Amino acid sequence: MQTFAFQIGPMYYNGIYHLFYQYNPKGAVWGNIVWAHSVSKDLINWEALDPAIYPSKPFDINGCWSGSATVLPGNKPIILYTGIDSEERQIQNYAVPKNVSDPYLREWVKPDNNPLVVPGNGMNASAFRDPTTAWWGKDGHWRIVVGSRRKHRGMAYLYRSRDFVRWTKAQHPLHSSANTGMWECPDFYPVSLHGQDGLDTSVIGQNVKHVLKVSLDLTRFEYYTVGTYLPDKDRYLPDNTSVDGWGGLRYDYGNFYASKTFFDPSKNRRILWGWANESDTPANDVEKGWAGIQTIPRTVVLDTSRKQLVQWPIQELENLRSQNVQMSNQRLEKGEHVEIKGITAAQADVDVTFSFASLDKAESFDPSWVNAQDLCAQKGSKVEGGVGPFGLLTLASENLEEYTPVFFRVFKSLNKHVVLMCSDARSSSLKDGLYTPSFAGFVDVDLSNRKLSLRSLIDHSVVESFGGGGKTCITSRVYPTLAVFDDAHLFAFNNGTETVTVENLNAWSMNRPQMN
């Protein structure tokens, strides 16, 4: 069966993880969208169920689009979603389980008092979608945000309700930002100032910051800010530590969109999921019969600097590890690359720490280099530098006709060092007609110990990389023709004049999970 899918609503309920996702049961292209439903006990092995929601009523007859899931008091799950009604308006609806005693919540009912929220006068009815997980305030009101735009201004409209049925639009949006375009898939949640635990979406207090994430329809990237939520005014104020707009912080600087977090009460953690779209053509997708994958779930915590988030693959992923190889104190002179043998390089988990004796050879950083992706394209993995480029050559063919390098390059500015992290797909495939960008981001990391860590999850057509302990993350979709299955290779490399040492490397072959 041909499918097109991306994620919309994760939820943990009575020991089961639920993933609801936008899905086309009739083809590997956009259209005929329903809410598909899969369940898991460990976030790694998944079983597909029948779709939870599909167009069937006047309030969603032209589509059941993105939304979220909330568990109400009394352990009652509820879905909020955007329906396209018979007038082609985007409106917000809800659905509830037909039988809450069914552990898998297989069937969902859409009550006839839908819709709950409709666009008001002066609002753009074709740009009003993706309700968030709800949070509860001490004043007894539930709150949700709906993404929208007003001309070129991105909008996070706020709605309140006492009973989760009758919703009233707040006078002011929770937040908005000029010249950002449509805000899709907004996500708003608290993060703890102390420790690694995640927080329930309704937690408010002095010991938390809040995160607002939006997906930008115009750029197909996402950005987030860390800031302060003022519950008495129902306003969100981003801190001034990062840009509130296109140039802001991203969860991921690669193929990563329409992401969503949820609170996992079983392990007190907040988990982030993103959708990695394809980089080949729709015709290729139709030929292979599917399009779009979920990235590995990640835990999300606030960095100790309180300026950004840190992400890391969930611990359950390690249950798929099998054959292990290690490397330590391996020196890499300029121009050297060494193969990591003994694992299945097409499906691997690689965790490595690089070190270097000195930063004296770091190149000068030009303050005009504000766009990391452009800088990576200019200073690729083959362009000799001082400290770097060094890193991994993933999904590489034996003679390097194809490879996807994930690497660092260190620069020196006036009073600090600047670390560039790249995942460069430009040499990833001999196949024509692919989208092969040089994805990149800067890593805000302390280099006083002269070390940099990198973890890459490699899975045939996807490379998810976590730099600096998860401070900067990049997902690349690549389609090698030679470096496939047993013909894929993995190398560590250095093309900088400063000698780099693979201080410690652990790599594992990864077993295949149960997938739908």
Nearest one of 240, 218, 84 to 151, comparing CA atoms: 218
The answer to whether residue 516 is domain-embedded is no
Considering the domain architecture, whether residues 332 and 351 belong to the same structural domain is answered as yes
| Residue 373 CB partners (closer than 8 Å, separation 6+) | 253, 437, 438, 439, 440
Say whether pLDDT at 191 is over 80: yes
Q: Are residues 310 and 339 in the same domain?
A: no
User: 162 and 304 share a domain?
Assistant: yes
Alpha-carbon span 146 to 126, nearest angstrom: 13
User: Residue 347 and residue 367: Cα distance in Å, rounded?
Assistant: 38
pLDDT (mean) for 84-110:
96
The answer to whether residues 296 and 349 belong to one domain is: no
Total domain count for the chain?
2
Return the percentage of the chain with pLDDT > 90, whole number.
90
Q: And the tokens for 13? A: 């309920």
Based on the domain organization, do 72 and 186 belong to the same domain?
yes
Q: What is the CATH number of the domain that holds 157?
A: 2.115.10.20
145 and 193 housed in the same domain:
yes
Asked, as a colleague might, if the bond just before 115 is cis with ω within 30 of 0, I would say yes
Query: 396 lies in a domain?
Result: yes
| pLDDT of 340 | 98
Terminal alpha carbon distance of the chain: 12
Q: Are 502 and 352 in contact (CB under 8 A)?
A: yes
* Domain-located, residue 515: no
From its phi and psi, is residue 383 left (phi > 0), alpha (psi between -120 and 50) or beta?
beta
Residue 463 included in any domain: yes
**Are 342 and 282 contained in the same domain?**
no
Q: Are the C-beta atoms of 342 and 350 separated by less than 8 Å? A: no
Are both 263 and 336 inside the same structural domain?
A: no
Mean pLDDT over residues 286-307, rounded?
92
Domain assignment present for 279:
yes
CB atoms closer than 10 angstroms to residue 466:
24
Residues 370-383: pLDDT tens digits? Answer: 999 999 999 999 99
Q: Which of 284, 315, 346 is the last residue of a domain?
A: 315
Q: Residue 210 domain-assigned?
A: yes
Q: Which of 276, 298, 315 is the last residue of a domain?
A: 315
Checking if the pLDDT of 306 tops 70, the result is yes
Where do runs of H (alpha helix) occur along 338-473? 372-378
Q: What is the pLDDT of residue 2?
A: 45
- Quote the domain boundaries for residue 102: 3-315
Residue 198 inside a domain? The answer is: yes
The yes-or-no verdict on residue 7 having pLDDT over 70 is no
Residue that finishes a domain, picked among 268, 289, 315: 315
Q: Are strands 336-339 and 135-136 parallel, antiparallel or unpaired?
A: unpaired
- 296 lies in the same domain as 333: no
User: Is residue 279 over pLDDT 90?
Assistant: no
Alpha carbon of residue 425 to chain centroid: 18
Domain match, 365 and 472 both:
yes
More confident: 219 or 501: 501
Question: 290-291 and 3-13 as β-strands: parallel, antiparallel, unpaired?
Answer: parallel
Nearest to 351 by CA among 513, 508, 509: 508
The helix (run of H) or strand (run of E) holding residue 387 is strand 387-396
CB 261 within 8 A of CB 187: yes
- Per the prediction, the chain carries an average pLDDT of 95
CATH number at residue 401: 2.60.120.560
Is the N-terminal amide bond of 389 cis, ω within 30° of 0? yes
Report whether pLDDT(366) > 60.
yes
Higher pLDDT, 284 or 467: 467
Average pLDDT over residues 289-306: 93
| 368 CB-contact burial (10 Å; exposed 0-12 / middle 13-18 / buried 19+) | exposed
Question: For 13-43, how does the pLDDT look when each residue is reduced to its tens digit (9 = 90+)?
Answer: 999 999 999 988 888 878 888 999 999 999 9
User: Which positions ≥6 away from 257 have C-beta within 8 Å?
Assistant: 6, 185, 215, 220, 221, 222, 274, 275, 276, 277
Whether residues 165 and 115 fall in one domain? yes
Same structural domain for residues 438 and 349? yes
What is the predicted pLDDT for the residue at 31? 80
Position 185 in a domain: yes
d(CA 39, CA 61): 26
